[in-house]
Amino acid sequence: MRSYRKELWFNIPARRAFVNITPQIEECLRESGIKNGLLLCNAMHITASVFINDDESGLHLDYEAWLEKLAPHEPVSQYLHNRTGEDNGDAHLKRQVMGREVVVAITEGKLDFGTWEQIFYGEFDGRRKKRVLVKIIGE
Protein backbone atom coordinates (compact mmCIF):
# COMPACT_ATOMS: atom_id res chain seq x y z
CA MET A 1 0.00 0.00 0.00
CA ARG A 2 1.22 3.49 -0.81
CA SER A 3 0.53 6.60 1.15
CA TYR A 4 0.71 10.31 0.29
CA ARG A 5 0.35 13.40 2.46
CA LYS A 6 0.25 17.08 1.56
CA GLU A 7 -0.84 20.34 3.19
CA LEU A 8 -2.51 23.00 1.05
CA TRP A 9 -2.31 26.59 2.35
CA PHE A 10 -4.97 29.26 2.01
CA ASN A 11 -5.07 32.92 2.96
CA ILE A 12 -8.59 34.12 2.15
CA PRO A 13 -8.74 37.96 2.13
CA ALA A 14 -12.37 38.03 3.37
CA ARG A 15 -13.92 36.70 6.59
CA ARG A 16 -15.99 34.14 4.68
CA ALA A 17 -15.66 32.43 1.28
CA PHE A 18 -16.12 29.15 -0.55
CA VAL A 19 -13.28 28.02 -2.81
CA ASN A 20 -13.44 25.11 -5.27
CA ILE A 21 -10.27 23.17 -4.46
CA THR A 22 -10.97 20.23 -6.78
CA PRO A 23 -8.11 21.18 -9.20
CA GLN A 24 -5.56 21.21 -6.33
CA ILE A 25 -6.89 17.86 -5.03
CA GLU A 26 -6.64 16.36 -8.53
CA GLU A 27 -3.05 17.62 -8.71
CA CYS A 28 -2.30 15.86 -5.39
CA LEU A 29 -3.80 12.68 -6.79
CA ARG A 30 -1.60 12.88 -9.92
CA GLU A 31 1.44 13.57 -7.75
CA SER A 32 0.67 10.55 -5.53
CA GLY A 33 0.56 8.13 -8.48
CA ILE A 34 -2.14 6.19 -6.61
CA LYS A 35 -4.75 4.65 -8.94
CA ASN A 36 -7.10 2.91 -6.51
CA GLY A 37 -7.74 3.78 -2.88
CA LEU A 38 -9.19 6.49 -0.67
CA LEU A 39 -8.55 10.21 -0.40
CA LEU A 40 -9.21 12.14 2.80
CA CYS A 41 -9.28 15.93 2.76
CA ASN A 42 -9.85 17.91 5.95
CA ALA A 43 -9.58 21.46 7.20
CA MET A 44 -6.87 21.73 9.88
CA HIS A 45 -8.66 24.63 11.61
CA ILE A 46 -11.82 24.69 13.72
CA THR A 47 -13.29 27.69 11.88
CA ALA A 48 -13.00 26.27 8.33
CA SER A 49 -14.65 23.37 6.48
CA VAL A 50 -14.05 21.01 3.62
CA PHE A 51 -17.24 19.78 1.95
CA ILE A 52 -18.59 18.40 -1.31
CA ASN A 53 -21.38 19.96 -3.31
CA ASP A 54 -22.23 21.73 -6.56
CA ASP A 55 -20.11 24.58 -7.96
CA GLU A 56 -23.14 26.82 -8.50
CA SER A 57 -22.96 30.48 -7.43
CA GLY A 58 -26.64 30.73 -6.38
CA LEU A 59 -26.20 27.75 -4.07
CA HIS A 60 -23.14 29.36 -2.49
CA LEU A 61 -25.13 32.54 -1.78
CA ASP A 62 -27.88 30.33 -0.33
CA TYR A 63 -25.34 28.70 1.99
CA GLU A 64 -24.08 32.11 3.07
CA ALA A 65 -27.62 33.37 3.85
CA TRP A 66 -28.61 30.11 5.58
CA LEU A 67 -25.48 30.01 7.74
CA GLU A 68 -25.94 33.69 8.68
CA LYS A 69 -29.49 32.86 9.80
CA LEU A 70 -28.32 29.89 11.86
CA ALA A 71 -25.31 31.65 13.39
CA PRO A 72 -25.22 35.40 12.66
CA HIS A 73 -21.80 36.98 13.01
CA GLU A 74 -23.26 40.08 14.74
CA PRO A 75 -23.75 40.90 17.49
CA VAL A 76 -20.54 39.17 18.53
CA SER A 77 -21.61 39.55 22.20
CA GLN A 78 -24.28 36.83 21.70
CA TYR A 79 -21.61 34.08 21.80
CA LEU A 80 -20.11 32.96 25.10
CA HIS A 81 -17.04 31.81 23.14
CA ASN A 82 -16.30 35.45 22.32
CA ARG A 83 -15.73 36.14 26.04
CA THR A 84 -12.21 34.85 25.25
CA GLY A 85 -11.72 38.13 23.35
CA GLU A 86 -12.25 36.49 19.95
CA ASP A 87 -15.05 37.44 17.56
CA ASN A 88 -15.36 34.09 15.78
CA GLY A 89 -18.01 32.27 17.84
CA ASP A 90 -20.21 32.12 14.73
CA ALA A 91 -17.35 30.68 12.63
CA HIS A 92 -16.99 27.65 14.94
CA LEU A 93 -20.73 26.93 14.58
CA LYS A 94 -20.70 27.41 10.79
CA ARG A 95 -17.77 25.03 10.52
CA GLN A 96 -19.67 22.39 12.50
CA VAL A 97 -22.64 22.58 10.14
CA MET A 98 -20.56 22.46 6.93
CA GLY A 99 -18.28 19.70 8.20
CA ARG A 100 -14.61 19.03 8.81
CA GLU A 101 -13.66 16.61 6.02
CA VAL A 102 -14.54 14.60 2.96
CA VAL A 103 -13.52 11.11 1.86
CA VAL A 104 -13.50 10.32 -1.86
CA ALA A 105 -12.93 6.95 -3.53
CA ILE A 106 -10.07 6.83 -6.04
CA THR A 107 -10.84 4.63 -9.03
CA GLU A 108 -8.49 4.22 -11.99
CA GLY A 109 -6.56 7.33 -11.00
CA LYS A 110 -9.62 9.60 -10.78
CA LEU A 111 -11.79 11.06 -8.02
CA ASP A 112 -14.86 8.79 -8.16
CA PHE A 113 -17.43 11.60 -7.86
CA GLY A 114 -21.20 11.57 -8.17
CA THR A 115 -22.84 13.93 -10.65
CA TRP A 116 -21.81 17.58 -10.14
CA GLU A 117 -19.73 16.80 -7.06
CA GLN A 118 -16.83 19.17 -6.39
CA ILE A 119 -14.68 19.69 -3.29
CA PHE A 120 -14.81 23.07 -1.52
CA TYR A 121 -12.85 24.84 1.16
CA GLY A 122 -15.25 26.82 3.35
CA GLU A 123 -13.69 29.73 5.21
CA PHE A 124 -15.60 31.28 8.12
CA ASP A 125 -12.89 33.32 9.81
CA GLY A 126 -10.38 34.27 7.13
CA ARG A 127 -7.72 36.95 6.63
CA ARG A 128 -5.02 34.59 7.94
CA LYS A 129 -3.10 31.55 6.75
CA LYS A 130 -4.83 28.20 7.17
CA ARG A 131 -4.14 24.64 6.09
CA VAL A 132 -6.00 21.76 4.51
CA LEU A 133 -4.66 18.22 4.79
CA VAL A 134 -4.77 15.80 1.85
CA LYS A 135 -4.05 12.14 2.66
CA ILE A 136 -4.28 9.43 0.03
CA ILE A 137 -3.83 5.71 0.62
CA GLY A 138 -4.00 2.90 -1.91
CA GLU A 139 -1.99 1.46 -4.73
If binding is defined by CB under 5 A, does position 88 make contact with Zn ion?
yes
If binding is defined by CB under 5 A, does position 24 make contact with Zn ion?
no
Q: By the 8 A CB rule, do 121 and 39 touch?
A: no
If binding is defined by CB under 5 A, does position 87 make contact with Zn ion?
no
In whole angstroms, the minimum distance from the beta carbon of 21 to Zn ion comes to 23
User: Cα–Cα distance between 134 and 50 in angstroms, integer?
Assistant: 11
Kindly tell me which of 16 and 25 has the beta carbon lying closer to Zn ion: 16
Phi, psi of 115 (to 5 degrees): -55, 130
If binding is defined by CB under 5 A, does position 71 make contact with Zn ion?
no
Contact region with Zn ion (CB under 5 A), list: 29-37, 57-65, 86-94, 111-119: 86-94
In whole angstroms, the minimum distance from the beta carbon of 81 to Zn ion comes to 6
In whole angstroms, the minimum distance from the beta carbon of 107 to Zn ion comes to 38
If binding is defined by CB under 5 A, does position 49 make contact with Zn ion?
no
Closest by CA position to 34, among listed 112, 118, 102: 112
What is the size of the binding site for Zn ion (CB under 5 A)?
A: 2
Phi, psi of 122 (to 5 degrees): -110, 115
User: Cα–Cα distance between 92 and 98 in angstroms, integer?
Assistant: 10
How wide is the angle at C-alpha 101 spanned by C-alphas 96 and 104, nearest 5°? 145
Residue 110's contacts (CB-CB under 8 Å, 6 or more residues apart) are 29
In whole angstroms, the minimum distance from the beta carbon of 68 to Zn ion comes to 18
Contact region with Zn ion (CB under 5 A), list: 4-12, 19-27, 72-80, 81-89: 81-89
Residues near Zn ion (CB under 5 A): 86, 88
